[in-house]
Structure 1
Amino acid sequence: MKFEQYNISPEIKRSLEELGFKRPTDIQFRSIPSILKRDDVLAIAQTGTGKTAAFAIPVLHMLQQRSRDKRPGQVTCLVMVPTRELAIQISDVFKQLGKYTKVSILGLHGGVDQEPQVKKLDKGVDVLIATPGRMFDLIHQQFIDLSRVEILILDEADHMLDLGFIKDIQHIIRQLPRKHQTLFFSATIDDEIKDLAYSVVNNPIRIQVSPKDPVSKNVDHAVAYVEMDDKRFFLERLVKEYPENKILVFVRTKVRAERVLAAMERVGIKALTMHGGKEQEHRLQVMNEFKKGTVKMLIATDVSARGIDIPNVDYVVNYDLPDVPENYVHRVGRTGRGVQKGHAISFCSTEELPVLKEIQEYLGKDIQEMKIDKNDYRETIVFSEETPNDNWRKLLEDNEKAAEKLGKKKKKK
């Protein structure tokens, strides 16, 4: 079935055509009809499968059918998200799809001046995409009125739970009209997510796409056994072998991000960093540069792993394995989005083997090993432009000579 066959407005179909959307993804095909029928929906689907458009398309159509005056601060559809970056991204999707409609859309998040946001709220807003912090600030200042919300959407619901937003969600729901439609979207589901979902939705239509493998079939992912101090050499090699590819590198901490950046700069590789230690304005600038491809490598912490739709990421590199197994799925989901193919490589050091085991248990299968023979391993280090010091080089050579002598002795015996 093609989008042109759906019972949605010509204006939205025009936007879909311009954006190159021809056929719905599985999650879109299964969600859109139920949402249009005003059913509550609990949707679980892999990251990168088009979840945002799955709710944005029908919501825009439904809101376009309404022609009513809005009071100051009034919100018709509330989309709650866990991070600023996700609020910006989802706002952009709504704006692109609703380009030819008169639906008003506002992305609300902290890190920026609230005055422009307040001015837009004063006119009333059809779709408000908000992070809890800034939203509660403006509710307390009486700039937001949730008493007439008709649609509540919780996106990346599992991550909202991880960040401790459950009480905020429950508090918001108490302010909404008793009768409203709830759409609950998440990439993963467990007992805690189920409990939350069924506490806020009414006899929901449950939609679960590809539940057996949380990693998209568009992503081939592998693990390479690389010691912690050697990872920078293997990252350098990957970048230099694929200089035109867009590479997203994940590390555990903001300190690690800056160290990896410095290591890349020492060998002439231009890169950007993005983490919680950066101001919002800087983070937006970095995202724009990486999206445009001005700089081909972005080094980030998990603040960037959730829901961020960066076009045409060729490789995701888990420079450090994530401490939380679920984050592996969200990280590698930054590539292979939509119908595109992607690649993910994880560098696993000896001390990270227990973390790898947890990730594989979560996935329900082993991650394919990318085998590196000893010669390739040695050459990757020796031929790095950041030439290791003489002691390091001599140690490698001595080890090889010792191995050769041992081999000859065994043959003589």
Structure 2
Amino acid sequence: MKFEDYRISEDIKANLAKMELKRPTDIQFKSIPAILNKEDVLAIAQTGTGKTAAFAIPIVELLSRSRHADREAGIRCIVLVPTRELAIQISQSFERIAKGTGVKVFALYGGVDQDPQIERLSKQVDVLVTTPGRMFDLASQGHIYFDRVEVLVLDEADHMLALGFIKDIRDLIKYLPKRRQTLFFSATIDEEIKKLAYSLVHKPIRIQISPKDPVSKNVSHAVAHVEMDDKRFFLERLVTENPGIKILVFVRTKVRAERVKAAMERVHIDTVTIHSDKGQADRNAAMSMFRSGKCHILIATDISARGIDIPDVDMVVNYDLPDDPEFYVHRVGRTGRGKSKGQAVSFCSMEERPTLRQIEEYVTKPIKVLEIKRDDYEDTIDLSESKSHDWKTLMSKADEVDKIIAKKKRKKKK
């Protein structure tokens, strides 16, 4: 089925065509009809599957159908998200889908002056994409009213729970009309998330897109055993051997982010960083530089980059392994999105090996190892010009090893 076959407005179809969206992904195919039918939806799908369009397309369609010039002003849809960057990203997606429909979208978040936001809220806002803190702040000042909300979307719900937003979510429900449509989107589900979801939705359509391998098939991921103090040399080599590609580097803390940036600057590699200590203007500037390709290396922490959809990320580097195995899946899911192919490389030090084992248990299989010969390892540290074992070759060899092992297993079964 193609988007042109859906019963949605011609404006939306034209906008999707401009976005080069022709056919729905699995989560879109299963979610859109239910949402158009005004059903509550509980959707679980891994990162990179197109969740935003899965709810944005039908919401814009529903709101545009019932929009009238004499309709009383008021927010009709609230999309609650955990981070500022995600609020910006989702609002931009809504705006692209809603162009020409008359549906107005606004992203609301903290870290910036509230006066321009208050001014914008005084005008037509149909869809408010917002973080909890600034929303409640302006609501308490009398600038936001919830009595006309028809649709509530909780996006990245698992991450909101991890950040302690459950009280904010429950507080919001008290102010919303009881007769509303609730859409609950999450990358994972456990007992806590399930309990919250079923307290918010009414007889929901449950949709779960969960392949056995939580890592997208479009992502080739591997690990290199590199000691903690040597990681900067291998990141330098990786960047040098892959000029011009977009690389998203994940570190564990904001302090580490700045240290890695400084280490790259010493070898004349330009990077930008994004973490919670950065002001919103600096975070927006860093994202803009990375998205546009003005800077090809973005160093980020998990919280700041969770859920961010940056087009054409060629490679993810786990400079530090994440403490939570689930975060590994979210990190590597920043590449290989949609139909694109991507690569992910993790640097694992000796002290991180227990964490690696936990990650392998979570993804249900061993992660292929990039074998680095001792001479090659030492050459990298010494900033040698040797290119005898570049990373692309190592990834290719690891893929070949996987194929040989799979072939042997098939023979044994016969």
| TM-score (norm: length of structure 1) | 0.91
In the other structure, the counterpart of 1:149 is 149
Whether the 8 Å CA contact 1:109–1:134 is kept in 2: the answer is yes
Over residues 242-285 of structure 1, what are the superposed CA-to-partner deviations in whole Å (9 max), with x where a residue is unaligned? Answer: 00110010111111111111111111111111111111000000
Amino acid of the structure 1 residue aligned with 2:76: T
SS at match of 1:169: helix
Whether the 8 Å CA contact 2:45–2:209 is kept in 1: the answer is yes
In the other structure, the counterpart of 1:129 is 129
Following superposition, the deviation at residue 123 of structure 1 comes to: 2.4
In the other structure, the counterpart of 1:288 is 288
Amino acid of the structure 2 residue aligned with 1:286: A
Following superposition, the deviation at residue 158 of structure 1 comes to: 0.1
Amino acid of the structure 1 residue aligned with 2:166: I
In the other structure, the counterpart of 2:207 is 207
In the other structure, the counterpart of 1:42 is 42
* Structure-2 separation of matches of 1:305 and 1:218: 20
Whether the 8 Å CA contact 2:319–2:347 is kept in 1: the answer is yes
Matched, 1:169 2:169: yes
In the other structure, the counterpart of 2:308 is 308
* Structure-2 separation of matches of 1:254 and 1:306: 14
Whether the 8 Å CA contact 2:83–2:304 is kept in 1: the answer is no
Q: Which moved more, 1:170-179 or 1:302-311?
A: 302-311
In the other structure, the counterpart of 1:406 is none
In the other structure, the counterpart of 1:4 is 4
Amino acid of the structure 2 residue aligned with 1:51: K
In the other structure, the counterpart of 1:91 is 91
* Structure-1 separation of matches of 2:152 and 2:212: 28
In the other structure, the counterpart of 1:394 is none
Amino acid of the structure 2 residue aligned with 1:225: H
In the other structure, the counterpart of 2:194 is 194
In the other structure, the counterpart of 2:337 is 337
In the other structure, the counterpart of 2:228 is 228
* Structure-1 separation of matches of 2:218 and 2:289: 25
SS at match of 1:188: coil
Structure 2: runs of 5 or more not aligned: 386-414
Amino acid of the structure 2 residue aligned with 1:113: D
Following superposition, the deviation at residue 304 of structure 1 comes to: 3.2
* Structure-1 separation of matches of 2:17 and 2:81: 27
| TM-score (norm: length of structure 2) | 0.91
SS at match of 2:224: strand
Whether the 8 Å CA contact 1:70–1:123 is kept in 2: the answer is no
SS at match of 1:222: strand
Matched, 1:184 2:180: no
* Structure-2 separation of matches of 1:143 and 1:70: 19
Following superposition, the deviation at residue 340 of structure 1 comes to: 0.7
Whether the 8 Å CA contact 2:87–2:108 is kept in 1: the answer is yes
Matches within 5 A, 1:320-359: 320-359=320-359
Whether the 8 Å CA contact 1:188–1:214 is kept in 2: the answer is no
Question: What do you get for the CA RMSD once the two structures are aligned?
Answer: 1.2
Whether the 8 Å CA contact 1:45–1:211 is kept in 2: the answer is no
Whether the 8 Å CA contact 1:305–1:330 is kept in 2: the answer is no
Following superposition, the deviation at residue 384 of structure 1 comes to: 5.0
Over residues 334-393 of structure 1, what are the superposed CA-to-partner deviations in whole Å (9 max), with x where a residue is unaligned? Answer: 1111111111111000011111122222222222212212222122112258xxxxxxxx
In the other structure, the counterpart of 2:412 is none
Larger-Rg structure: 1
Identity within the alignment, %: 65
Following superposition, the deviation at residue 204 of structure 1 comes to: 0.9
Over residues 278-324 of structure 1, what are the superposed CA-to-partner deviations in whole Å (9 max), with x where a residue is unaligned? Answer: 11000000000000000110111113331101110001000001112
Over residues 113-168 of structure 1, what are the superposed CA-to-partner deviations in whole Å (9 max), with x where a residue is unaligned? Answer: 11222122222421000100000001101111111211000000000000111111
Matches within 5 A, 1:384-403: none
In the other structure, the counterpart of 1:366 is 366
* Structure-2 separation of matches of 1:191 and 1:362: 17
How many residues were matched structurally?
Answer: 384
In the other structure, the counterpart of 1:411 is none
* Structure-2 separation of matches of 1:304 and 1:367: 26
In the other structure, the counterpart of 1:81 is 81
In the other structure, the counterpart of 2:29 is 29
Following superposition, the deviation at residue 71 of structure 1 comes to: 4.6
